[in-house]
Structures are given as C-alpha cells and as structure tokens.
Structure 1
Amino acid sequence: MLNIGLILPDVLGTYGDDGNALVLRQRARMRGIDAEIHRFTLGEAIPENLDVYTLGGGEDTAQILAAEHLIADGGLTRAANAGRPIFAVCAGLQVLGSSFRAGGQTVAGVGLLDMETGTLGKRAIGEVVSEPQLDDVNEPLTGFENHMGATILGADAYPLGRLSKGVGNADRHASADLEDGEAQILAEGAVQGSIVATYMHGPALARNPQLADYLLARAMGVDLKQLQPLNIPAVAQLRRERLA
C-alpha cells in the first residue's frame, strides 16, 4: 500500500494543487499498486511515516497558519529527515524555507529548504517552462505561475528547473545585489534532500508526468526507470499544447 499525505488542504488548497495527490494515486493504481490519500487538516498531527507528501498553495493568512502548525507539529520535519519525498507548490514552497513575506511581515518558515522569500517587483502570472535539474528527469517542466514571492536559494538548495519561459523564483529587482544574481533569475523551484518544490500550478504533476513518476519512484524506493511506462494520450496532448 502506498500512503500519500495531502497536507493542510484546508489552508493550502487554493489553486487546485490537491490534484497532485490525485495524480500520484492514479498513476500508482494504473500500475496495479494500491494507493490511498490521507488528508491532514489544520490542527491535526501529521504522521512521519507516510510514503510521500504533497502541499499546495494558499493566501497570506492561510500560509502563516500553515507555517505555525507545521513548525509546532514537527511531523513533516521528521518525515523529511527520514528521507520521505515531499512535493510542495507555491505557498507550500515558501513555507518550507527559512522565512517568507506574508501579511506585510517576515514570517519564520519550517526551515527544510535553504532559501528565503521576499517580494517581487511585479506579480508573476503566466506560463512557465524550465529544463529539469533532477537526476533521471529529462522532459521539460511546464506549469502556470501566479505569485509575488521572490525566492532566493541558499547553498544547500538547488533549482528544480532552469528557466526558459516565465519569471520563476526571482526577478532582477530581487537578485540585483547578489553575486549569483543571474543564476537566481534562471531558477524555478527548489530541491533539497527529499524535498521537491515549485511555483508551478496546473496541477504540476498532471502537466509533468515524468516528475510525478520520479516522486512515486522515490516513495517506493526504486529507480524511475523501474516503473512501468504509462501511455495516456490526453496527458501527451496537454503537454504538447502547453509547451507550444
């Protein structure tokens, strides 16, 4: 049985990112693997022994509540320390960093990703495409970004993708004074340890099946190439349309 944790969908479920858990479950079941989604809402303890976890996006107030709960509960941190794969989107990405801006203040994050999030000069809205920086993932990543976060990666995190379209993590306003400013404005998302995070909505795993399978493989403790390929024409058509 593959156990998928959908974390705080009541406060981090604004943009349909709950769909990422559904994609993981469906792609597992299509391979004959039993899989179930377990929802954990605000105030509920998060177990540290699930196979994979997903977090979505949310607004400022919800984001602050999510960070406070995840820090106090500690279950997701223990899961990350144990190497359990975690997939976080947009506000979920920001919450897992060391700090983020919300409600006009700087808020402490969970500290699982070496990064800080400030504010972009202008809201990033639109299609985003990047070249993946993950081992064994070689298909372009595609999604829809809608955020004001300017996320600067530290030395222990690296980008999920190298940007070819869209804004991604940061703009020139946010990275102008950094030694690695050019690299920062080409970065989309963040990877550190077992955590994969992105600004891509879509849901991201519906639009990027290879990335979904990467997370499934990590959850199952196998190599990506060991997963049986799935031929889903509708997914292939969606990718052609979005990448065009």
Structure 2
Amino acid sequence: MSEDRIAAGNRSINILQLYPREMNIYGDWGNVLVLKQRLKWNGYTANVLEYNVGDDFPADVDLLVGGGGQDSGQVVIQEDLQSLAPTLRALAEDDVPMLAICGLYQLFGRFFKTHTGTVIPGIGLLDLETHGGTERLIGNVLSVSEEFGEIHGYENHSGQTFLGPGVKPLAEVRKGEGNNSKDNYEGARYRNVVASYLHGSLLPKNPAIADFLIQQAVTRKFGSFEPAPPSPGDLDELARLSELARQHAGQRPR
C-alpha cells in the first residue's frame, strides 16, 4: 500500500470475527477487544466485522479471529465452513494473520473425530488432526515459545490434537497438557496463523501475540508498521499492568 494512502489518514484494519454466535463461549470475544484497543494505541483504527453461517464473506479482511465452541457448535458451522475453505486457505497463503482458538483450531485441521466415532471434516488449512477423548484437559497452562516467550492461558477440551510436518508447535508446555496428553506441545503455527487451545481470553495476558498479529496485518496492508508514539506514562502503565496479569496467571495452580 502506498505512503499516500497512509498519509491521507486511512489507517484502518478490518478484523473479522468468524462465527461469533456459535464459536465464542469461553470469553474469546476478549481477543477482538484487545486487538481493537492495541491498534488504537498504535494510531490505527479497527473495523470489527462478523461472519456467521449464511452471511456474505467480506471482500477485505486484514486479520481474522475465531473462537471456541462445543461439539454442537462445530456441527452447526460445519457445512458453511467447508464452503469457505478455499477462501480461508487462500487468505492464509496470502499471509493474512489469523488467531484460531480451540474449536476452530480443530476445524482448521484435517478433521475432528469425536469419541463416539463421528468425523467432522476440517478445512485442511493446518496440517493436524484431532481425536476426541473421554478425559477433559482442564486447567491453567504455562507454555514457552521461542517466538513469544511465556504464554499463559486456560484450557478446557477433550480433543487430542496431533500436528503433522506441515506445521510447528506454538509453544512447549511447562504446566498443563496442551494439544494432547502425550507430546507436551501447545497450539500450532503456520505462516501468520496462530492456533491455540488457550482461552482466558488469550491475548490480554499475552500481548506479544496480539502485537505480532497487528504488525503483520498492518505491514501486509500498508507495507510497513508505523505506530503512533505513546506518551511514556501510558506506555509504562500498560507494561506494568500486562506484566502484573502475567505474574498472577503464572502463579495460579493447575
């Protein structure tokens, strides 16, 4: 995008929340609020859009966020999500940043097989598969990422997700279970896609991930990331509150 467009004051980023009616049961809306506020602090405007089953998919998406839901919610969106598969895969390959949490994390993979044997096809955007278990993995999670540092969150899922060679883990678990009860990994990374089981919501306690998504969205749209300089007092207070939230999260029992 040309510098003339930025100079003209068009510093807006379109955030699309995918299936907020069915896939937003663990506070995942908070991820959108964090992105919106941090964009504002950096001098950009967030236009928050929603896509639900049967809607027209927006033509201009700069950042996509999807949340968690129950198995029943996954069934409701299944057919509609399959119709979007080529569009979503194309956006991912075009480096549109995405955050996929829990239920949509699973459906961004190849399939989710429930513990009763029902197979819910995924869209194959991520090279992974999920098998439903009889045990729920519940509790606070601390994981460590070379890219984002410590990642704090809360998991509540019975899916056992296994990554293929086409993706890499988001982080290595230090406390909790993560993707499954076997390999000690949490989440997945592919291009500018961040996928995770962590609710809480994720981004308030992990601003490094939020800032990564924002910087990728802005750079992709405008060619560079040029944040407005915050006042030193605001910046110090923001850093203090973020670190305080992370410290409290890290001290919580499993």
For the residues of structure 2 that align with 1:152 and 1:95, how far apart are their CA atoms?
13
Match of 1:200 in 2: 198
- Post-superposition CA distance 1:145-194 (Å, at most 9, x none): 0000100000001100011110000113xxxxxxxxxxxx1110011122
The alignment's TM-score, normalised by the length of structure 2, stands at 0.84
Counterparts in 2 of 1:5 and 1:208: CA distance versus 1, 3 Å: same
- Tell me, yes or no, if the aligned pair for 2:28 and 2:68 is still in contact at 8 Å: yes
User: Secondary structure at 1:218's aligned position in 2?
Assistant: helix
> Aligned pair 1:76/2:81, yes or no?
no
Cα shift at 1:79: 1.5
> Aligned pair 1:111/2:124, yes or no?
yes
Report the RMSD for the aligned CA atoms in angstroms.
2.1
> Aligned pair 1:93/2:91, yes or no?
no
For the residues of structure 1 that align with 2:163 and 2:226, how far apart are their CA atoms?
32
Counterparts in 2 of 1:68 and 1:133: CA distance versus 1, 3 Å: farther
User: Secondary structure at 2:48's aligned position in 1?
Assistant: strand
- Tell me, yes or no, if the aligned pair for 1:49 and 1:79 is still in contact at 8 Å: no
Match of 1:14 in 2: 25
Match of 1:220 in 2: 218
For the residues of structure 1 that align with 2:130 and 2:179, how far apart are their CA atoms?
9
For the residues of structure 2 that align with 1:91 and 1:3, how far apart are their CA atoms?
23
- The amino acid of 2:131's aligned partner reads G
Q: Which runs of 5+ in 1 are unaligned?
A: 173-184
- Tell me, yes or no, if the aligned pair for 2:99 and 2:195 is still in contact at 8 Å: yes
For the residues of structure 1 that align with 2:48 and 2:203, how far apart are their CA atoms?
15
- The amino acid of 1:132's aligned partner reads S
- Post-superposition CA distance 1:42-94 (Å, at most 9, x none): 11132353110000000112112223212113432332122111100000100
- Runs (4+) of structure 1 exceeding 4 A deviation are 222-230
User: Secondary structure at 1:221's aligned position in 2?
Assistant: helix
Match of 2:159 in 1: 149
Q: 1:167 aligns with which of 173, 177, 190?
A: 177
Q: Which runs of 5+ in 2 are unaligned?
A: 1-11
Q: Rg: which structure is higher?
A: 2
- Tell me, yes or no, if the aligned pair for 1:11 and 1:42 is still in contact at 8 Å: no
For the residues of structure 2 that align with 1:34 and 1:72, how far apart are their CA atoms?
30
For the residues of structure 1 that align with 2:102 and 2:146, how far apart are their CA atoms?
18
Cα shift at 1:226: 6.6
- Tell me, yes or no, if the aligned pair for 1:96 and 1:112 is still in contact at 8 Å: yes
Task: Count the aligned residue pairs.
Answer: 229
Q: 2:242 aligns with which of 222, 235, 242?
A: 235
Counterparts in 2 of 1:87 and 1:48: CA distance versus 1, 3 Å: farther
Match of 1:176 in 2: none
- Post-superposition CA distance 1:115-169 (Å, at most 9, x none): 00002352100001111143xx2x2000000000100000001100011110000
- Tell me, yes or no, if the aligned pair for 2:218 and 2:225 is still in contact at 8 Å: no
For the residues of structure 1 that align with 2:225 and 2:177, how far apart are their CA atoms?
31
For the residues of structure 2 that align with 1:201 and 1:234, how far apart are their CA atoms?
19
Counterparts in 2 of 1:11 and 1:208: CA distance versus 1, 3 Å: same
The alignment's TM-score, normalised by the length of structure 1, stands at 0.87
